[in-house]
Amino acid sequence: MDQEVSVEEFLEKLLEIAHPLAPFDLPLLDAHGASLAEDIFSEGLVVMQAGTRIRSTQIGLAASLGLNRLPSRPHPRVVIISAGDDLVEPGQLLADGEEEYETNSWMLTTAVREAGATGFRVHTIPENHEQVKGIVEDQLVRADLIIISGESKDDSFEMITAALSELGEVTTLIPAMSDTGRFAYGLIGPDKTPVVTLPGDPVVAYMALEIFIRPMIRTMLGAPNIFRTRIKAILDNPVQSPEGKRSFIRVALDHKSGKGGSSATVLAHQESLTCLANAQGLALMPEDRTSYKAGDVVDVLVLERSNN
């Protein structure tokens, strides 16, 4: 039986295998979006600090100093593999009630790009773990990190972990959180490339990417802050959580609530992609809390989304 570990313990294990990428000089346009690997000086003063995300203004400053390259930590190359014989590409017809549209690779590939990585999408329909192994081996040449998800019913978990175990050392576990499933992680291939498998349910897979994979990518970028911004907010409506589990409740945020700060409204149908798509933050419920009432103050991870 898979070991259950705390959210913090699992995240710590993942960050141990996610190291900042080796820096090198990049042309200005290629450096855009990467992290600055060392301080930039002008007339003896630091004008750009190491760890800064290189945005358009930093590119302009570099150009004004006569620099055509910047010492940068490159975008991590993250390969997203979605495996399952009942997964159908969007745009095609579903043959029966057993099939479902392949969602995870589209959502996770774009999510890792939003975190600062270069995302590569791979959808496959393997028949056995040898085929999965071959697909993963083919991707190792272009990957700094590999993320794999199976079907929503987790039918392919054993097949995927069997393939990964032949390529390196992997561990399976279950984090103590309300939206969860079985995970595997480890180092595979000749270069000891980090790999993480996520549960197949799209909402659970995305939540796992936010909580566990995004900090890995930000670490590989050399970013000074690898976590989402956290704020205090007043709950507009009550919410419950299973005892002994960490919960990340999807909420809408109102930063102009007139209540002395931000307010958070718990969205309906927490298990749905519609709810996830409309969420602007994740309200944190610790393991020792089973409920909050309206008016309570909660910590919220801000997802930096806006309809504008």
Q: What is the CATH number of the domain that holds 268?
A: 2.40.340.10
* Residues 39 and 145 occupy one common structural domain: no
CB 137 within 8 A of CB 205: no
The pLDDT score that the predictor gives to residue 89 is 79
CATH number at residue 123: 3.40.980.10
Report if residue 254 sits inside a domain.
yes
pLDDT at 155: 59
Q: Are residues 182 and 84 in the same domain?
A: yes
Query: Could you tell me if 64 and 79 lie in one domain?
Result: no
Q: pLDDT (tens digit, 9 = 90+) per residue, 15-70?
A: 999 999 999 999 999 999 888 999 999 999 999 999 888 999 999 999 999 999 99
- pLDDT at 151 (0 to 100): 63
* Under-70 pLDDT residues of the chain: 1, 151-155, 257-260, 305-308
Q: In this structure, is residue 249 part of a structural domain? A: yes
Q: What is the pLDDT of residues 243-270, one digit of tens each?
A: 999 999 999 999 775 556 799 999 999 9
Domain end call among 221, 254, 272: 221
Task: Examine residue 209 and state whether it is found in any structural domain, yes or no.
Answer: yes
Domain around 248: 230-302
188 and 80 inside one domain: yes
Of the three residues 221, 242, 265, the one that is the final residue of a domain is 221
Total domain count, the chain: 3
Task: Flag whether 307 is in a domain.
Answer: no
Task: Report pLDDT for 224.
Answer: 83
Of the candidates 182, 164, 160, the residue with the CA atom closest to the CA atom of residue 173? 182
Q: What tokens were used for 101?
A: 């549209």
CA atoms of 235 and 249, how far apart (whole Å): 11
| Contact yes or no for 164/186 (Cβ under 8 A) | yes
Three-state SS string across the chain, please? CCEEECHHHHHHHHHHCCCCCCCEEEEHHHHCCCEECCCEEECCEEEECCCCECCHHHHHHHHHCCCCEEEEECCCEEEEEEECCCEECCCCCCCCCCCEECCHHHHHHHHHHHCCCEEEEEEECCCCHHHHHHHHHHHHHHCCEEEEECCCCCCCHHHHHHHHHCCEEEEEEEECECCCCCEEEEEECCCCEEEEEECCCHHHHHHHHHHHHHHHHHHHHCCCCCCCCEEEEEECCCEECCCCCEEEEEEEEECCCCCCCEEEEECCCCCCHHHHHHCCEEEEECCCCCEECCCCEEEEEECCCCCC
Q: Token pair for residue 233? A: 């907010």
Joined together, the tokens standing for residue 19 give: 């190291």
205 & 242 share domain: no
